[in-house]
Structure 1
Amino acid sequence: MIDLLIVGAGPVGLVTAIHAAEAGLQVTVVEPRVGTIDKACGEGLMPDALHHLASIGIDPPGVDFYGIRYLSGKRVAEARFSSGPGRGVRRTTLHDCLWGRAKELNVNFVEGRVDTVVQSGACVEAAGIQSRYLIGADGLHSTVRSQLNLGIASKRSRPQRYGVRQHFAVAPWTDFVEVYWLDNAEVYVTPVDQQTIGVAVLGKDKINFDEIISRVPMLRRHLESAEPASKLRGAGPLRQDVPARSRGRVLLVGDAAGYVDALTGEGMRVGFAEGQAAVLAVLANDPQSYEAQWQRITRSYRLLAGGLLWASSNHIIRSMIVPAAQTFTPVFSRLVNTLG
């Protein structure tokens, strides 16, 4: 029997595995996909996420950015980070860095799919592997979460939001992450290397990527002669309500533990901190203590993402977001640095 089984080899699962291995635990990661894993992701690492990676020996290549810029028509609001730069990093590049570090620490990887999770008083079993504890890091539509009966059906009255992302071969034109606010969508532009940008669109229901880009004249001009550098990928629905983060010997981290929205770009920062906290709970043989730590780690994200999501869902208030950020720049700056 091993100490810890982690389900999911995305960035949060791998960071969790690295923390566990550094603490001396015997760790196995189960993942059905082979090789480098890609998925729809904004790919902007906020300063705290970058600092977290440095603390576990990882300095991923990419393009540093120094703040967040909101744009709506002729209105522009920007805020610089106060704790150093963030970094745009291709999801595939980050995966390779994390996977390499995990292998250095003798983390074991098993190709497989978890269909059932069976717990007893002393262990948990999944994918034919017995472990003292299991951490589910298997994303928005977590199988582990379903096995624990911790999913909550989305309210039908609540419009579902989705995200799509594609890369383009064009040199970055700014050292900020740009967020273009439209009447029904947000468009995020993140530099990921010296010749590539990532464009992510968040919106309701079915997103027509090309149509939305066509409504952002400044961005459209930059992309006119740019070739796509990746396939269009999508994710969603984004909202995942989860009543608890653990049950018995199983804990949830990252998107599997619950998700509000991608509006704030904090997924990695929050997920990395959750993974570290979950490992500490395992080391203490006290998985129930993780819930309080999760609440603490995610409090600012849940408040800000929830508030921004509420504001953006009202057409009148939505139209005031960028003008307000421009007018009250110090407040906007404090909010951005709370996220970082």
Structure 2
Amino acid sequence: MALLLDRDGSKEFDHLLAPFPALRERLAGAGFDSELRGAGPLLQRARARWAERLALVGDAAGYVDAITGQGLSLAFAASTVLMDTLPADLSVDLGPALRRYDARLRTRWLQYALPAHALVALSRRPALRRVALRSVSAIPGAFGALVRLVAMA
């Protein structure tokens, strides 16, 4: 679970859950698996996901933020795409296969990166975040639909 904290981290966990009574109820009595930690911004850009005989996967291929929780899913997807794209004989010119890898991965990466950039932007603008959360909360099923959209990445 990820929570958007104030820059100074001054709000307590229970206070952060106050707007989400159903979630607060489900988490009641649950302990923490680790200490509260945070850092950022975490954006890592890669000029290219491949070069000659090298392919980048996972966070090395580009990373926006952990806010969507999609890091491992993207790494596994990229690994699968790479395996499906590479020829059996790795001694041949890999340029065409790596170009196909990059093209196939680009759509998947954008499905993650665009919502992640939007969520990071909301996390940095408290007033806009409050308006967005109120708006999504007012429309039945909207929040769940947004979560499913991000999870598909």
TM-score by length of 1: 0.34
SS in 1 for 2:43: coil
- Look up the equivalent residue of 2:13 and give its one-letter code: I
Q: Per the alignment, do residues 263 and 217 of structure 1 end up closer, same or farther by CA in structure 2, a change over 3 Å counting?
A: closer
Partner of 1:239: 43
Shift of 1:221: 7.1
| Partner Cα separation in structure 2 for residue 232 and residue 180 of structure 1 | 11
- Higher-helix-fraction structure: 2
Q: Per the alignment, do residues 236 and 216 of structure 1 end up closer, same or farther by CA in structure 2, a change over 3 Å counting?
A: closer
Structure of greater relative contact order (alpha carbons < 8 Å, 6+ residues apart): 1
Shift of 1:291: 1.2
Contact 2:4–2:123 under 8 Å retained in 1: no
Partner of 2:75: 271
Q: Does 1:248 align with 2:52?
A: yes
CA RMSD of aligned residues (A): 3.2
* Matching of residues 274-313 of structure 1 within 5 Å: 274-283=78-87, 285=94, 286-313=97-124
Partner of 2:91: none
Runs of 5+ in structure 2 lacking a partner? 19-23, 89-93
| Partner Cα separation in structure 1 for residue 119 and residue 35 of structure 2 | 29
Q: Per the alignment, do residues 254 and 329 of structure 1 end up closer, same or farther by CA in structure 2, a change over 3 Å counting?
A: farther
| Partner Cα separation in structure 1 for residue 122 and residue 33 of structure 2 | 34
Shift of 1:216: 3.8
- Look up the equivalent residue of 2:108 and give its one-letter code: I
* Matching of residues 102-113 of structure 1 within 5 Å: none
Q: Per the alignment, do residues 248 and 222 of structure 1 end up closer, same or farther by CA in structure 2, a change over 3 Å counting?
A: same
Shift of 1:333: 2.7
Q: Per the alignment, do residues 233 and 309 of structure 1 end up closer, same or farther by CA in structure 2, a change over 3 Å counting?
A: closer
SS in 1 for 2:118: helix
Q: Per the alignment, do residues 181 and 260 of structure 1 end up closer, same or farther by CA in structure 2, a change over 3 Å counting?
A: closer
Partner of 2:144: 333
- Higher-strand-fraction structure: 1
Partner of 1:36: none
| Partner Cα separation in structure 1 for residue 73 and residue 66 of structure 2 | 12
| Partner Cα separation in structure 1 for residue 109 and residue 59 of structure 2 | 12
**What is the aligned length?**
137
- Look up the equivalent residue of 2:148 and give its one-letter code: N
Runs of 5+ in structure 1 lacking a partner? 1-176, 185-203
| Partner Cα separation in structure 2 for residue 238 and residue 180 of structure 1 | 16
Shift of 1:235: 6.1
| Partner Cα separation in structure 2 for residue 217 and residue 310 of structure 1 | 21
* Matching of residues 69-108 of structure 1 within 5 Å: none
TM-score by length of 2: 0.69
SS in 1 for 2:144: helix
